[in-house]
Structure 1
Amino acid sequence: MDPGTYKLYHVDDFDSRKHLENYLSDNPDKVSEEDSLIFPIENLIKTFTEGHIKGDVLIDLSLGSIVHHLFAACDFFKHIIVLKMRDRCIMELKRWVDERTGAFYWGHATKLHVDIEENRDLLQDKEGKVRSALQHVLKCDLDKEDIMHPIVLPPADCVLSFGLLDTISKDQDDYMRYVRKFSSLLKPGGHIILIGTVEMTYYTIGKHKFRAFSYDEDFARKALAGEGFIIDHCEVKMRTSVNDHNDYKAMMFIAAHRET
Structure 2
Amino acid sequence: MNRRLSLLPSLPIYLLFHLLRKIPTLHQSGIFTSPAPRLPSTLEKTTFLESKKPDVYQTNFEPTSYLEYFKLDQDPMAKEVLHFLLKHYNATFKPGGLKGKLLIDIGSGPTIYQLLSACETFEEIVASDYTDKNRQELEKWLKKELGAFDWSPVVKYVCELEGHRDRWAEKEERLRKAVRQVLKCDILKERPLEPAVLPPADCLISSLCLEAACPTLGACRDALHHIKTLLRPRGHLVLSGTFGSSFYMVGDKWFPTLPLEEKFLLEALQEIGFTIEKLEKAPRAAETLLDNRSDYTGMFFLVARRGD
Shared fold per TM-score greater than 0.5: yes
Indicate the residue corresponding to 2:301 in structure 1: 253
**Which deviations, in whole Å up to 9, do the C-alpha atoms of 1:195-234 show, x marking residues without a partner?**
1100000000111110010021111111111111111110
Runs of 4 or more, structure 1, over 6 Å off, are none
**Normalised TM-score (structure 2):** 0.79
Name whichever of 133-142 and 199-208 sits farther off.
133-142
Measured in 2, the distance between the counterparts of 1:72 and 1:183 equals 22
SS at match of 1:129: helix
**Which deviations, in whole Å up to 9, do the C-alpha atoms of 1:77-120 show, x marking residues without a partner?**
00000111110100000000000000001001011101111223
Matched, 1:178 2:223: yes
Measured in 1, the distance between the counterparts of 2:165 and 2:249 equals 35
**Normalised TM-score (structure 1):** 0.93
RMSD: 1.9
Kept in 2: contact 1:31–1:245 (CA 8 A): no
**Which deviations, in whole Å up to 9, do the C-alpha atoms of 1:123-176 show, x marking residues without a partner?**
221111110000100112334322233321111001100011010111211111
Q: 1:164 to 1:187 in 2, by over 3 A?
A: same
Measured in 2, the distance between the counterparts of 1:253 and 1:231 equals 11
TM alignment of 1:70-219, pairs within 5 A = 70-219=115-264
Which AA in structure 2 matches 1:201?
A: S
Kept in 1: contact 2:221–2:268 (CA 8 A): yes
1:49 Cα offset (Å) = 1.8
Measured in 2, the distance between the counterparts of 1:53 and 1:59 equals 13
**Which deviations, in whole Å up to 9, do the C-alpha atoms of 1:18-40 show, x marking residues without a partner?**
1012x112452x25133321111
SS at match of 1:19: helix
Q: Among the aligned pairs, what percent are the same residue?
A: 31
Matched, 1:24 2:67: no
**Runs of 5+ unmatched residues, structure 2:** 1-12, 18-44
Measured in 2, the distance between the counterparts of 1:246 and 1:207 equals 12
SS at match of 1:104: coil
Which AA in structure 2 matches 1:24?
A: F
Indicate the residue corresponding to 2:80 in structure 1: 35
Measured in 2, the distance between the counterparts of 1:192 and 1:26 equals 26
Measured in 2, the distance between the counterparts of 1:165 and 1:97 equals 24
Higher helix share: 2
Kept in 2: contact 1:166–1:196 (CA 8 A): yes
Higher relative contact order (CA 8 A, sep 6+): 1
Measured in 2, the distance between the counterparts of 1:148 and 1:33 equals 29
Which AA in structure 2 matches 1:11?
A: D
Measured in 1, the distance between the counterparts of 2:81 and 2:293 equals 13
Matched, 1:11 2:58: no
Measured in 2, the distance between the counterparts of 1:119 and 1:248 equals 33
Which AA in structure 2 matches 1:66?
A: T
Measured in 2, the distance between the counterparts of 1:31 and 1:60 equals 26
| Count of paired positions | 258
**Runs of 5+ unmatched residues, structure 1:** none
Measured in 2, the distance between the counterparts of 1:7 and 1:96 equals 34
Which AA in structure 2 matches 1:19?
A: Y
Higher strand share: 1
Kept in 2: contact 1:84–1:138 (CA 8 A): yes
Measured in 2, the distance between the counterparts of 1:188 and 1:181 equals 14
Kept in 2: contact 1:19–1:64 (CA 8 A): no
